[in-house]
Chain A
Amino acid sequence: MSVLLWAAVMLIGGTGSVLRFFVDGAVSSVAGRDFPTGTLVVNISGSVILGLLTGLALSHDAALLAGTAAVGSYTTFSTWMLETQRLAEERQQRKVLLNVAVSLVLGVTAAALGKLIGAHL
Protein backbone atom coordinates (compact mmCIF):
# COMPACT_ATOMS: atom_id res chain seq x y z
CA MET A 1 0.00 0.00 0.00
CA SER A 2 1.60 3.23 -1.06
CA VAL A 3 1.12 6.62 0.52
CA LEU A 4 0.28 7.96 -2.93
CA LEU A 5 -2.68 5.57 -3.29
CA TRP A 6 -4.18 6.68 0.04
CA ALA A 7 -3.56 10.34 -0.77
CA ALA A 8 -5.52 9.73 -3.98
CA VAL A 9 -8.31 8.06 -1.95
CA MET A 10 -8.58 11.24 0.15
CA LEU A 11 -8.52 13.62 -2.84
CA ILE A 12 -11.14 11.59 -4.70
CA GLY A 13 -13.26 11.16 -1.55
CA GLY A 14 -13.27 14.90 -0.95
CA THR A 15 -14.23 15.55 -4.57
CA GLY A 16 -17.05 12.96 -4.44
CA SER A 17 -18.47 14.65 -1.34
CA VAL A 18 -18.40 18.09 -2.99
CA LEU A 19 -20.09 16.62 -6.09
CA ARG A 20 -22.84 15.15 -3.87
CA PHE A 21 -23.39 18.60 -2.33
CA PHE A 22 -23.90 20.19 -5.76
CA VAL A 23 -26.08 17.41 -7.24
CA ASP A 24 -28.24 17.29 -4.08
CA GLY A 25 -28.60 21.08 -4.10
CA ALA A 26 -29.41 21.25 -7.82
CA VAL A 27 -32.04 18.48 -7.65
CA SER A 28 -33.58 19.91 -4.46
CA SER A 29 -33.90 23.38 -6.00
CA VAL A 30 -35.80 21.90 -8.96
CA ALA A 31 -37.87 19.22 -7.16
CA GLY A 32 -38.53 21.16 -3.94
CA ARG A 33 -37.72 20.18 -0.37
CA ASP A 34 -40.95 18.42 0.66
CA PHE A 35 -39.39 15.06 -0.18
CA PRO A 36 -35.64 14.25 -0.08
CA THR A 37 -35.36 13.82 -3.87
CA GLY A 38 -31.80 15.19 -3.95
CA THR A 39 -30.38 12.36 -1.81
CA LEU A 40 -32.47 9.84 -3.76
CA VAL A 41 -31.04 10.96 -7.12
CA VAL A 42 -27.48 10.96 -5.72
CA ASN A 43 -27.84 7.46 -4.25
CA ILE A 44 -29.51 5.86 -7.27
CA SER A 45 -27.08 7.39 -9.78
CA GLY A 46 -24.18 6.26 -7.58
CA SER A 47 -25.60 2.74 -7.30
CA VAL A 48 -25.83 2.27 -11.07
CA ILE A 49 -22.22 3.48 -11.50
CA LEU A 50 -20.86 1.29 -8.69
CA GLY A 51 -22.78 -1.68 -10.13
CA LEU A 52 -21.17 -0.96 -13.51
CA LEU A 53 -17.67 -0.79 -11.96
CA THR A 54 -18.34 -4.07 -10.13
CA GLY A 55 -19.36 -5.73 -13.41
CA LEU A 56 -16.14 -4.54 -15.06
CA ALA A 57 -14.08 -6.57 -12.52
CA LEU A 58 -11.38 -3.92 -12.02
CA SER A 59 -7.99 -4.45 -10.38
CA HIS A 60 -7.71 -3.91 -6.61
CA ASP A 61 -6.31 -0.37 -6.83
CA ALA A 62 -8.69 0.74 -9.58
CA ALA A 63 -11.69 -0.61 -7.64
CA LEU A 64 -10.47 1.18 -4.50
CA LEU A 65 -10.14 4.54 -6.28
CA ALA A 66 -13.14 4.48 -8.63
CA GLY A 67 -15.53 2.41 -6.49
CA THR A 68 -14.78 2.73 -2.77
CA ALA A 69 -13.36 6.28 -2.90
CA ALA A 70 -15.24 8.07 -5.73
CA VAL A 71 -18.71 6.47 -5.80
CA GLY A 72 -18.63 5.48 -2.12
CA SER A 73 -18.11 9.07 -0.99
CA TYR A 74 -20.59 10.46 -3.54
CA THR A 75 -23.47 8.36 -2.14
CA THR A 76 -24.61 8.60 1.47
CA PHE A 77 -26.38 6.32 3.90
CA SER A 78 -26.38 8.67 6.90
CA THR A 79 -28.22 11.56 5.17
CA TRP A 80 -30.80 9.10 3.79
CA MET A 81 -31.47 7.86 7.34
CA LEU A 82 -31.44 11.36 8.86
CA GLU A 83 -34.04 12.61 6.37
CA THR A 84 -36.16 9.50 7.00
CA GLN A 85 -35.99 9.99 10.78
CA ARG A 86 -36.85 13.71 10.51
CA LEU A 87 -39.88 12.86 8.30
CA ALA A 88 -40.98 10.40 11.01
CA GLU A 89 -40.63 13.13 13.67
CA GLU A 90 -42.95 15.28 11.54
CA ARG A 91 -45.40 12.32 11.51
CA GLN A 92 -45.22 12.03 7.70
CA GLN A 93 -45.53 8.22 7.78
CA ARG A 94 -46.39 7.88 4.08
CA LYS A 95 -43.24 9.76 3.05
CA VAL A 96 -41.13 7.70 5.51
CA LEU A 97 -42.24 4.43 3.91
CA LEU A 98 -41.93 5.89 0.42
CA ASN A 99 -38.39 7.19 1.04
CA VAL A 100 -37.19 3.83 2.40
CA ALA A 101 -38.99 1.64 -0.16
CA VAL A 102 -38.23 3.70 -3.28
CA SER A 103 -34.53 4.11 -2.35
CA LEU A 104 -34.13 0.38 -1.71
CA VAL A 105 -36.05 -0.90 -4.74
CA LEU A 106 -34.43 1.57 -7.14
CA GLY A 107 -31.02 1.18 -5.45
CA VAL A 108 -30.89 -2.61 -5.78
CA THR A 109 -32.34 -2.46 -9.31
CA ALA A 110 -29.82 0.21 -10.37
CA ALA A 111 -26.87 -1.73 -8.91
CA ALA A 112 -28.02 -4.99 -10.56
CA LEU A 113 -28.58 -3.26 -13.91
CA GLY A 114 -25.20 -1.53 -13.73
CA LYS A 115 -23.47 -4.82 -12.88
CA LEU A 116 -25.18 -6.53 -15.85
CA ILE A 117 -24.14 -3.77 -18.27
CA GLY A 118 -20.59 -3.75 -16.87
CA ALA A 119 -20.22 -7.50 -17.30
CA HIS A 120 -21.15 -7.19 -21.01
CA LEU A 121 -18.81 -4.33 -21.82
Chain B
Amino acid sequence: MPSVPGPSVSSTRPAGAAPGKRRILPRADRREIAAIFAGGALGTLARAALSDAFPRSATSWPWPTFAVNITACFLLGYFVTRLQERLPLSSYRRPLVGTGLCGGLSTFSTMQVEIVKMLGAHAWGLAAGYTAASIGAGYIAIHLASAMVRRTRVRQQRVAQ
Protein backbone atom coordinates (compact mmCIF):
# COMPACT_ATOMS: atom_id res chain seq x y z
CA MET B 1 0.00 0.00 0.00
CA PRO B 2 1.65 3.31 -1.04
CA SER B 3 1.89 5.85 1.72
CA VAL B 4 0.48 9.27 1.05
CA PRO B 5 2.44 12.14 2.58
CA GLY B 6 0.46 14.69 4.49
CA PRO B 7 -1.13 15.27 7.85
CA SER B 8 -3.65 12.44 7.32
CA VAL B 9 -1.01 9.67 7.83
CA SER B 10 1.14 11.32 10.49
CA SER B 11 -0.68 9.40 13.23
CA THR B 12 0.57 6.06 11.83
CA ARG B 13 4.22 7.00 12.40
CA PRO B 14 5.91 5.59 15.49
CA ALA B 15 5.96 8.16 18.23
CA GLY B 16 9.72 8.00 18.82
CA ALA B 17 10.82 8.21 15.20
CA ALA B 18 12.73 11.44 14.69
CA PRO B 19 13.76 11.58 11.02
CA GLY B 20 16.78 13.85 11.47
CA LYS B 21 18.37 11.92 14.36
CA ARG B 22 21.22 9.48 13.70
CA ARG B 23 20.03 5.95 14.31
CA ILE B 24 22.23 3.45 16.12
CA LEU B 25 19.76 0.70 16.92
CA PRO B 26 18.69 -1.35 13.89
CA ARG B 27 15.35 -0.59 12.29
CA ALA B 28 12.92 -3.32 13.18
CA ASP B 29 9.19 -3.67 13.02
CA ARG B 30 7.14 -5.55 15.55
CA ARG B 31 6.69 -8.58 13.28
CA GLU B 32 10.46 -8.90 12.81
CA ILE B 33 11.08 -8.77 16.56
CA ALA B 34 8.30 -11.31 17.14
CA ALA B 35 9.91 -13.63 14.55
CA ILE B 36 13.34 -13.39 16.23
CA PHE B 37 11.73 -14.02 19.61
CA ALA B 38 9.75 -17.08 18.42
CA GLY B 39 12.73 -18.63 16.60
CA GLY B 40 15.05 -17.90 19.52
CA ALA B 41 12.61 -19.46 22.00
CA LEU B 42 12.40 -22.70 19.99
CA GLY B 43 16.15 -22.91 19.36
CA THR B 44 16.94 -22.27 23.03
CA LEU B 45 14.40 -24.88 24.18
CA ALA B 46 15.99 -27.53 21.91
CA ARG B 47 19.54 -26.67 23.07
CA ALA B 48 18.63 -26.48 26.77
CA ALA B 49 16.68 -29.78 26.66
CA LEU B 50 19.60 -31.56 24.98
CA SER B 51 22.16 -30.08 27.37
CA ASP B 52 19.99 -31.00 30.37
CA ALA B 53 19.39 -34.57 29.17
CA PHE B 54 23.10 -35.29 28.67
CA PRO B 55 25.15 -33.85 31.53
CA ARG B 56 28.90 -34.38 31.11
CA SER B 57 32.13 -33.82 32.99
CA ALA B 58 34.86 -31.31 32.11
CA THR B 59 37.03 -34.07 30.64
CA SER B 60 34.47 -35.59 28.27
CA TRP B 61 33.55 -34.45 24.76
CA PRO B 62 30.63 -31.93 24.98
CA TRP B 63 28.37 -33.71 22.46
CA PRO B 64 25.22 -31.62 23.17
CA THR B 65 26.98 -28.29 22.44
CA PHE B 66 28.89 -29.76 19.51
CA ALA B 67 25.71 -31.23 17.98
CA VAL B 68 23.58 -28.06 18.27
CA ASN B 69 26.38 -25.83 16.98
CA ILE B 70 27.06 -27.90 13.86
CA THR B 71 23.33 -28.46 13.18
CA ALA B 72 22.69 -24.71 13.51
CA CYS B 73 25.57 -23.99 11.09
CA PHE B 74 24.11 -26.32 8.46
CA LEU B 75 20.60 -24.83 8.86
CA LEU B 76 21.91 -21.25 8.79
CA GLY B 77 24.05 -21.89 5.69
CA TYR B 78 21.09 -23.49 3.94
CA PHE B 79 18.48 -20.86 4.81
CA VAL B 80 20.63 -17.75 4.38
CA THR B 81 21.87 -18.88 0.96
CA ARG B 82 18.31 -19.77 -0.09
CA LEU B 83 16.84 -16.52 1.19
CA GLN B 84 19.60 -14.31 -0.22
CA GLU B 85 20.11 -15.96 -3.58
CA ARG B 86 16.88 -17.76 -4.46
CA LEU B 87 13.70 -16.57 -2.79
CA PRO B 88 12.17 -13.08 -3.01
CA LEU B 89 13.02 -10.78 -0.12
CA SER B 90 10.90 -11.47 2.90
CA SER B 91 10.68 -9.42 6.06
CA TYR B 92 10.37 -12.24 8.56
CA ARG B 93 11.95 -15.50 7.27
CA ARG B 94 15.55 -14.46 7.94
CA PRO B 95 14.79 -13.15 11.47
CA LEU B 96 12.71 -16.24 12.30
CA VAL B 97 15.06 -18.95 11.06
CA GLY B 98 18.47 -17.24 10.94
CA THR B 99 18.67 -14.74 13.79
CA GLY B 100 16.11 -16.55 15.95
CA LEU B 101 16.21 -20.34 15.51
CA CYS B 102 19.86 -20.83 14.49
CA GLY B 103 21.14 -18.10 16.80
CA GLY B 104 19.19 -19.52 19.75
CA LEU B 105 20.13 -23.12 18.92
CA SER B 106 23.86 -22.42 18.65
CA THR B 107 26.00 -20.98 21.41
CA PHE B 108 29.46 -19.46 21.54
CA SER B 109 29.68 -18.72 25.28
CA THR B 110 28.99 -22.31 26.41
CA MET B 111 31.73 -23.54 24.08
CA GLN B 112 34.21 -21.03 25.56
CA VAL B 113 33.36 -22.03 29.14
CA GLU B 114 33.71 -25.71 28.18
CA ILE B 115 37.18 -24.99 26.75
CA VAL B 116 38.15 -23.12 29.95
CA LYS B 117 36.99 -26.10 32.07
CA MET B 118 39.01 -28.51 29.87
CA LEU B 119 42.10 -26.32 30.25
CA GLY B 120 41.49 -26.17 34.01
CA ALA B 121 41.39 -29.98 34.11
CA HIS B 122 44.68 -30.08 32.10
CA ALA B 123 42.88 -31.88 29.24
CA TRP B 124 44.96 -30.02 26.64
CA GLY B 125 44.37 -32.47 23.80
CA LEU B 126 40.62 -32.50 24.36
CA ALA B 127 40.50 -28.67 24.44
CA ALA B 128 42.50 -28.37 21.22
CA GLY B 129 40.56 -31.16 19.51
CA TYR B 130 37.16 -29.80 20.54
CA THR B 131 38.06 -26.26 19.38
CA ALA B 132 39.46 -27.42 16.04
CA ALA B 133 36.63 -29.89 15.38
CA SER B 134 33.92 -27.32 16.21
CA ILE B 135 35.39 -24.67 13.90
CA GLY B 136 36.26 -27.17 11.16
CA ALA B 137 32.89 -28.94 11.18
CA GLY B 138 30.95 -25.67 11.53
CA TYR B 139 32.76 -24.15 8.56
CA ILE B 140 32.30 -27.27 6.42
CA ALA B 141 28.58 -27.49 7.37
CA ILE B 142 27.97 -23.94 6.12
CA HIS B 143 30.04 -24.55 2.99
CA LEU B 144 28.15 -27.77 2.15
CA ALA B 145 24.71 -26.29 2.86
CA SER B 146 25.47 -23.24 0.68
CA ALA B 147 26.83 -25.45 -2.12
CA MET B 148 23.73 -27.64 -1.94
CA VAL B 149 21.39 -24.68 -2.44
CA ARG B 150 23.48 -23.29 -5.31
CA ARG B 151 23.75 -26.68 -7.07
CA THR B 152 19.97 -27.13 -6.93
CA ARG B 153 19.55 -23.79 -8.65
CA VAL B 154 22.01 -24.69 -11.43
CA ARG B 155 20.28 -28.03 -12.01
CA GLN B 156 16.86 -26.38 -12.21
CA GLN B 157 18.16 -23.84 -14.72
CA ARG B 158 19.54 -26.65 -16.88
CA VAL B 159 16.18 -28.43 -16.84
CA ALA B 160 14.46 -25.21 -17.80
CA GLN B 161 16.69 -24.64 -20.83
Contact = CB atoms under 8 A, between A and B. Distances in A.
Contacts of B142: 78, 81-82, 85
A20 B36 CA distance: 10
B15 to A, nearest CB: 19
Interface in B34-59: 36-45, 47-49, 51-52
Interface residues of B, number: 57
Nearest to B28: A21
A37 interface: no
Q: How many residues of A sit at the interface, in one of the four size bands?
A: 35 or more
B112 A107 contact: yes
Contacts of A46: 108-109
B26 A82 contact: no
A68 B65 CA distance: 11
A108 interface: yes
A14 interface: yes
Interface of B: 23-26, 28, 33, 36-45, 47-49, 51-52, 69, 72-73, 75-77, 80, 95, 98-100, 102-113, 115-117, 119, 131, 134-135, 138-139, 141-143, 146
Interface of A: 1, 6, 9-18, 20-22, 24-26, 28-30, 43, 46-47, 49-51, 54, 64, 67-69, 71-82, 84-85, 88, 100, 103-104, 107-108, 110-112, 115
